[in-house]
Structure 1
Amino acid sequence: MNITDCKRVTKHNFNRMPKTIIYQLLPRLFGNRNRTNCINGTKADNGCGRLNDITSQALAAIKDLGVTHVWYTGVIEHATATNYSDYGIAPDPPHIVKGKAGSPYAIKDYYDICPDLAENIPLRITEFEELVERTRQAGLKTLIDLVPNHVARHYVSDARPDGVFDFGHHDNPNQAFAIYNNFYYLPQQPFVAPIPPANGDPQWQEYPAKMTGNDCISASPTLNDWYETVKLNYGVNLFDGRSAHFDPIPDTWHKMLHIMQYWAGKGIDGFRCDMVEMVPVSFWHWAITAIKKEFPDFLFVAEVYNPALYHDYIHTGGFDLLYDKVGMYDTLRNVITGFRPVSDISNAIEAIAPHRGHMLFFTENHDEQRIASSFFADNPRRGWPATFVSATLLPNAFMLYSGQELGEKGMDSEGFSGQDGRTTIFDYWCVDTLERWMNDGQFDGGRLTPKEQQLREQHRHLLQLVQQHEAFVSGEVYHLTWCNTTFRVFPWVRYTQDEVFLLLANFTNAKLQMTLNVPGDMFEKCGLKPHGFYHAEDLMGSGKQISFFADVALIKGFEVKMKPYGCMIFRLK
């Protein structure tokens, strides 16, 4: 028996808030059907996905995964090597653009949509608004990026509303730092790009040089710096020990809040906020408070990596969700690769206990290597236990990266993004598994292999199951690693007053027959009777069953059989 033999879960049957499950996709890649894939290819060579490619049918298929939110990555206009001057958009110097398509995090116009993504370029804002409405009609919510720390070196807004001035318009570039400046300056020093212009292109002129986006205080940033970006000034003097100057409120605060209000007014439901630790928490408190006053349910997701700052960004800044990269993600990656025991998963839970409901779990995103890449697990099956644990372990939000559910390897060498186990965000490219799942716009997986189809169904079945049961959405967790010393199998229990589920994840490529110990304390806390007979079949469709007399199991445990990389859920109550 396999997952496709199970009774299909096809609807969200609940009268409560679902578990937040975010699906990240890059429209540039998601809808691209051009399989040319010329290395360093232009848009004309390799094609480009568009907002209109994300149809109602596509969104219904995403919704069917159990997803609640779609994070559309790279929709705001950013610097690109593609010339759109015929549409009144100033061209960007290619030697300060990363890749032919450009980085989605080098924003060129905060008030506009990337022209790459438009079917009718003059109507690109309208096409975005239509996508937001399609998303809403599909029963999903829309997230987009907010990139507050830096802008493209060539920032020129042609779509800004009347009365709005560009960043730097009123700056005094003779002052390295000033509270009313939007940028930091390196007076009397010209900017020198780490890559010279090619093919007779003109040299980018920037005098005086501005500070580079990763706080690089040099007029000559290196290839390892964010040389295509410029740091924004939020009133922190980086030349004077990071002293804060927030009274009066810095001009950058007002400009960024207006940008946030602009997009919230377009009907989106939240921001995934880039590199929030590089922006003062005082700004976040001020801005998020203002947005939530007008849009109370607006979701703020923070890319944050320093656990010492979690409390401040949640309780002072006001963020709803924080990336849990250095905790759960890093732990699971090391468990997959055999460097850490499964008991460390329990330790990772304890480390985030004060912030538990605010952490966003994931096993892939655009910054991390694909599970199926040879840089990570080399096989989507090997990484499945980590995804299973991330989605079911706690009430936390969970994120799925487009293509992860298909076993996308991310092993192409696309151009600026070399073969590094990541799907490019800098190049025009067609992602093989996504294109075959899209199947000429049918979004039915018609050209996937049987193994790819089964993997997607496995994800769908799990996430739908999670949404079906209160125990997974908001229930408590009971750890069983303390009474089970196995190095490679992680057991735990999720429970509410009405439901109890036993879960096991096998991180080995071996069939296992093991004795699972269950303490009396578990029975008591989960409301299980410490006597009588228990029998359950795996809800994940492995065909495995468990049977035990409670009074015997309390003394001797009970037998469990597991498949390689098998993950099982048994309902005990």
Structure 2
Amino acid sequence: MSNNAQKSVNKHVVYQVFTRLFGNTNSTNKPWGTIEENGVGKFNDFTDKALSEIKRLGVSHIWYTGVPHHAVINDYTDYGINLDDPDVVKGRAGSPYAVKDYYTVNPDLAEDPANRLAEFEALIERTHKQGMKVLIDIVPNHVARNYHSLAKPTGVQDFGAADDTSVEYARDNNFYYVVGEDFNVPEAQNGYQPLGGEKHSLSDGQFDESPAKWTGNGSRKAQPDFNDWYETVKVNYGVKQDGSHDFAKLPDDYADKNYQAHYAFWQNQDVPDSWMKFKDIALYWTQKGVDGFRFDMAEMVPVEFWSYMNSAIKMANPDAFLLAEIYNPSAYRDYIRLGKMDYLYDKVDFYDTLKPLMQGKAGADNLVSIQNRFADIEHNLLHFLDNHDEQRISSPEFAGDANIGKPAMVVSSLISSSPIMIYFGQEVGEDGSEETGFGDPSRTTIFDYAGVPAHQRWMNDGKFDGGQLSAKEAELRDFYQRLLNFTLQSEALVGQYAELHSVNRSANPNYTERQFAFARFNNNEKLIVISNFDQTESKEIELIVPQQVITKMGLSDGKYTFTDQLYHEISANLNVKNGMGRIKVKLAGLESLVLLYNK
């Protein structure tokens, strides 16, 4: 177990909510529908009742996705906001990852757009009163093609305002340039038309940008491909065209130093201008009461920058929750130890093993080696099954039934001391099947105005009481509530871990690759967790707990009664003889047992 885990009293549970969609009661879901046709959720929809129900679900942190002001196809010129060009906006409501003003919030989310920042500040306060922390996105790798801040503090310059556009690269330029060439809108594919073909004053296949800038995903073409992140531009962090760096390298021993030492190191260094701009943005939101950030595509930005910015955030708020989206396992330790991230997405390896397991395409064996390989940083690898980038579990393209996700959710939640994250609607089986414009069904849209049907049934016209849920949906939410609250409360989950899978695969004929078992324990609590990924087959298993695990648990020969913590209807006896433990369990299809013995 890592030092961080030892310091943590409890695990964290993050509830990711797409802010624009959460409170929307409109069920029209017209493809490319306007804000008037399809409706939109507001900050004020997160009422005290809504927040208390999220808290009661078993949540410690809410990640409000899509808060910073990003490009949208809606007319806010009465508020001094320039129109956004549909040729460089994805969807009608726009991508939350094409931010155009980091010092204010999306006007769509406010009852009064002129008062939008105050409305979000009030939401921060309401969330805190319910005992939860607030996270928002920061997207350092790229900004909207039309970035222009109306709300920036005095003395702050826009990204690119002082750039020397006559050169492709300069250390203190905020962007990279395709010198001598104008930007060209990508050639559309598969009959795509902005806004579904609806006429718009700016939708003419052109966008004025001279010289062209590199695109967010790194494309250096004046005309990026349609599949590039053409609505964004790449931010320059002092990385030259050949990949070499124009800034100080952290000494190797800084992997073992605390954030205070990292902060002190950077006080004596000259850093690129973009570093300072993003640090100031993060501190601006920290001062407003935001408790942490989810950093988009963190591995596309140098690890030294993260050391610089995260140490500054921690100096302002030592308890800040810093989460990075990253998909390169070989870089995990650098971004934690050198970059001072608290948590990283554990998608590659962990989620990518659970998904085919849920789909019946693979077994659970790889989970053992994954946990072993990352044992030293297990506390830092946040788990999830749903988020805005991934297919919904119950979509036909994934598993077709939210219940198939139950055993994977138990394993994800309990196997590590790391946080667990769920995506709004996951707890009621939302399937993401709506065709709303830009993007494909199976993922709940992040680009367009829409209602989220299963979530709306829970929302029940603003009562937030689940009054319209089907029996199956209500049962699923009850399962999540039981599991997540246990996750927050059990002290064994920040204790030790021991896998039980390998010995049972080799020595137990009734235990197959479709089951997965492990133990979690500390001095007071002993947990044995077993999940059955088979959908229909019930399993009777005499689970083996090997001698070395029994010894670590501090158990001697004898009988110990373990009780299931999800439904409290099942007890099982662990019989220890000659140091070896055996416990008989019966598992229905897709059932998990979370068996607890209190010393």
TM-score bracket relative to the smaller structure:
over 0.9
Q: Per-residue deviation at 1:553?
A: 9.8
Unpaired runs of 5+ residues, structure 2, are 1-6, 249-268, 506-511
> Is 1:204 aligned to 2:202, yes or no?
no
| Number of residue pairs aligned between Structure 1 and Structure 2 | 554
Residue aligned with 1:143, SS? strand
Please name the residue that 1:415 is paired with.
Answer: 437
RMSD: 1.8
Distance 1:550 1:304, change over 3 A: same
Aligned partner of 2:508 in structure 1 is none
Query: Contact conserved, 1:518 with 1:553, CA < 8 A, in 2?
Result: no
**Inter-partner Cα distance in structure 1 for 2:479 and 2:132:** 21
Match of 2:485 among 454, 464, 467: 464
Aligned residue identity for 1:484: N
* Counterpart amino acid of residue 564 in structure 2: D
Separation in structure 1 between the aligned mates of residue 448 and residue 455 of structure 2, nearest angstrom: 16
Aligned to 2:358: 336
Structure 2 residue 585 is the aligned partner of structure 1 residue 565: no
Aligned-residue offset at 1:16:
7.5
2:47 aligns to what?
55
Contact preservation (8 Å) 2:29, 2:434: no
Alpha-carbon distance in structure 2 between the residues aligned to 1:166 and 1:257: 14
TM normalised by structure 1 equals 0.94
State the distance in 1 between where 2:302 and 2:513 align.
42
- Judging changes above 3 Å, is the alpha-carbon distance between structure 1 residues 17 and 544 closer, same or farther for their aligned structure 2 residues? closer
- 1:213, 1:548 → 2: CA distance? 55
Q: Distance in 1 between matches of 2:233 and 2:580?
A: 62
**Counterpart for residue 454 of structure 2:** 433
2:100 maps to a residue whose letter is: K
The residue that corresponds to 1:497 in the other structure is 523
Range moving further from structure 2, 562-571 or 537-546: 537-546
Q: Say if 1:412 and 1:242 are closer, same or farther in 2 by CA, change over 3 A.
A: farther
Aligned with 1:183: secondary structure? Answer: coil
Mapping for residues 24-423 of structure 1, pairs under 5 Å: 24-194=16-186, 195=188, 199=199, 201=202, 202=204, 203-237=206-240, 239-245=241-247, 248-419=270-441, 421-423=442-444
Does the 8 A contact of 1:31 with 1:48 survive in 2? yes
Gaps of 5+ in 1: 1-14
How far 1:529 sits from its partner (Å)?
2.3
- Structure 1 segments, 4+ long, off by >6 Å, are none
Give 3-state SS (helix, strand or coil) of 1:400's partner: strand
Once the two structures are overlaid, the 10-residue window that deviates more, 541-550 or 109-118, is 541-550
State the partner residue of 1:518.
545
**Conserved? CA contact 1:489–1:507, under 8 Å:** yes
Aligned equivalents of 2:99 and 2:575: distance in 1? 62
Aligned to 1:244, what secondary structure does the other structure show? coil
1:480 to 500, 509, 519: 500
User: TM-score scaled by structure 2?
Assistant: 0.90
Q: Report the alpha carbon displacement of residue 257 of structure 1 after superposing the two structures with TM.
A: 1.2
Q: What SS does the aligned partner of 1:254 have?
A: helix
Contact 1:22/1:400 (<8 A) preserved: yes
Matched AA of 1:156: H
Percent identical: 44
Q: Report what 2:4 is aligned to.
A: none
1:236 deviates by 0.6
Displacement of 1:552: 8.9
- Matching residue's letter, 2:480: H
Letter in 1 for 2:343: L
Cα shift readout 1:201-251 (whole Å, capped 9, x = no counterpart) = 3521111100000000101111110000001111111x2344434574211
Pairwise CA distance, 1:104:
0.2
Say whether the 8 Å CA contact 2:286–2:316 is kept in structure 1.
no
Distance in 2 (alpha carbons) for counterparts of 1:380 and 1:516: 27
Q: Is contact 1:70-1:142 (8 Å) kept?
A: yes
Q: d(CA) in 2 for partners of 1:378 and 1:483?
A: 32
What is the alpha-carbon distance in structure 2 between the residues aligned to residue 560 and residue 356 of structure 1? Answer: 28
After superposition, give the CA deviation of every residue in 1:516-545 in whole Å (9 maximum; x if it has no partner): 2222222211112222x3333422227343
Q: 1:339 to 1:542 in 2, by over 3 A?
A: farther
Aligned counterparts of 1:74 and 1:16: Cα–Cα separation in 2: 29
Alignment partner, residue 449 of structure 1: 470
Measured in 1, the distance between the counterparts of 2:307 and 2:37 equals 45
In 2, Cα distance between equivalents of 1:305 and 1:545: 40
Distance 1:548 1:107, change over 3 A: closer
- Residues 497 and 520 in structure 2, CA contact (< 8 A), matched pair in contact too: yes
Say whether the 8 Å CA contact 1:81–1:101 is kept in structure 2: yes
One-letter code aligned to 1:73 = T
Aligned counterparts of 1:528 and 1:244: Cα–Cα separation in 2: 57
Contact 1:48 1:428 in 2 (8 A): yes
SS in 2 for 1:568: strand
Task: State the 1:73 CA deviation.
Answer: 0.2
Distance between the aligned counterparts of 1:41 and 1:497, measured in 2?
57
Structure 2: distance between partners of 1:220 and 1:245: 30
AA paired with 1:482? S
